[in-house]
Each structure stands twice: as C-alpha cells, then as structure tokens.
C-alpha cells in the first residue's frame, strides 16, 4: 500500500494530536526547570529540546550531567532508551517506502511514541496519507518547545522544584503511559525488569549506572518475550 504526504493531511494530523499535546507542555516545563537547575543555560536547554526532541533521553542525560560528563555512558543510555525507534520505524517502513526520500526521513525525524501509535493505527486501517505522523509530530514538538520555554523562564526562580511537584512529572508521565495502555505481559514485563534492574543498580553499582542498566534490562526483556500467536480464523 503506497503512501502520500500533503498539507491537508498534515494539518489534520496536527489537529488530531493537539489535545494530547497539551499534556506534553507540563512535561517540557519539568525538563526546562530541571535543566536550569543542572546548570544548563536557557539557550542550551532550548537547543537541546529543539534538536534532540526525546523527552526520556533528555531527562536521562540530565541524570548524567555534571562537571565531568561520562560520554560513553551518555551515548549508551540514550541509544538504549531510544532503541525502540528501530522497531517503530521498521513497522512503518512498508507504508512509508513509496514516499520521496526527503519526505520519508523528515517524517521519521518527527516520530515520537504518541504520533507513531496513531499513525500505525491509520496504517492498519488502510489510510494512505501519512499526515498523522508528520502533523502529529509537529504538534508534539511545538508543545515540547513551549513547555521547555516556560521551564526556562520560570526555572531560575524556582529553587525547590519539589515544592511544586515538578520533580515527579516525569514519573507520573511514564506511569500514565503504563496504566493507560493495555496491561499485558508485553507491557508489564519490560517495565518491571527495567524498574528492578535500575533499583538494583542504584544499590550496588556506580553512580548514574542505573539509567543505562534499567534501559537495557527493559529492552532485553521486551525482545525476549515471544510474540503472541494470532487466533485462528473462526475461533472466538
């Protein structure tokens, strides 16, 4: 099934993603505050959000940030956290492969979990317009940048982020992703493995190693779970 990308489809995708994007503003605000507290300048924080556009990885980078940055650990943890994008991109490849090369890779540059999930649903329904992926990505990026900007503006005046609950937004966001989806082994096992491995690393391994250990444990657990067999035709 070939795909196409045009402005009306992109605009429709942006509108569909707009309500969900409002929640991303709070997430971006938390990152902006955390980045300022870690010593990044406002410009550095905005450039990081604009160019990286990967919330979980950016928070992980802040965990490793300091006068001496462990570059190998930073690269490894970022790759581990974002390794799921390899599978996400592969899942959409049959849909996107007929697009011109520039459109194809520009679309993937805007891919995040939320717009990928909605675009994948469009693909399964037989939709040929990939505007959900692009427009949804634009909506999420704009919301992420707005939230980061708010965090930068107010971050320098917030000496104790925990008083406002900004230190737990990341955890609440991830928890909402977990309990908001379908709770099966394919979801619970990787999350549980990541949590247990990270806690163990906090207790017994060097500082900051819990970031990469948890990410790797969750990714490996997800890979080891056998795919569910499809029900036979005619079965209930």
* pLDDT, one tens digit for every residue, the chain (236 residues): 578 899 999 999 999 999 988 888 988 998 998 899 888 999 999 999 999 998 888 988 888 887 888 888 788 778 877 877 877 888 888 889 889 999 999 899 999 988 988 998 898 888 999 999 999 999 999 999 999 999 999 876 555 555 555 555 555 555 555 555 555 555 577 778 878 888 898 888 876 667 677 767 776 776 676 655 544 444 44
The rounded distance, in Å, linking the Cα atoms of 25 and 143 is 5
Opening angle at CA 194, ends 189 and 198, nearest 5: 150
Opening angle at CA 174, ends 40 and 32, nearest 5: 20
Q: Please state the pTM of the whole predicted model.
A: 0.73
Opening angle at CA 7, ends 5 and 8, nearest 5: 100
The rounded distance, in Å, linking the Cα atoms of 236 and 92 is 29
The rounded distance, in Å, linking the Cα atoms of 7 and 10 is 5
Beta-bridge mates of residue 4: 129
Structure-block tokens of residue 146:
């707005």
């Amino acid at each position: 099934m070939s795909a196409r990308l045009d402005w009306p489809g992109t605009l429709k995708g942006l509108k569909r993603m707009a309500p969900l994007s409002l929640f991303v503003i709070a997430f971006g605000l938390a990152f902006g505050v955390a980045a300022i507290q870690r010593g990044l300048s406002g410009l550095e924080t905005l450039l990081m959000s604009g160019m990286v556009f990967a919330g979980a990885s950016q928070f992980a980078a802040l965990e490793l940030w300091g006068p001496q940055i462990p570059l190998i650990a930073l690269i490894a943890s970022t790759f581990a956290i974002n390794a799921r994008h390899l599978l996400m991109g592969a899942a959409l490849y049959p849909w996107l492969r007929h697009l011109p090369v520039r459109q194809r890779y520009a679309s993937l540059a805007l891919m995040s979990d939320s717009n990928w999930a909605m675009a994948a649903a469009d693909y399964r329904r037989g939709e040929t317009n990939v505007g959900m992926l692009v427009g949804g990505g634009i909506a999420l990026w704009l919301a992420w940048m707005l939230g980061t900007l708010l965090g930068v503006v107010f971050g320098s005046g917030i000496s104790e982020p925990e008083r406002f609950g900004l230190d737990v937004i990341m955890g609440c966001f991830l928890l909402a992703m977990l309990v908001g989806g379908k709770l099966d082994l394919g979801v619970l096992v990787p999350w549980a493995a990541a949590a247990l491995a990270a806690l163990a690393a906090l207790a017994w391994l060097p500082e900051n190693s819990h970031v990469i250990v948890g990410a790797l444990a969750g990714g490996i657990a997800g890979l080891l779970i056998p795919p569910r067999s499809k029900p036979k035709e005619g079965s209930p």
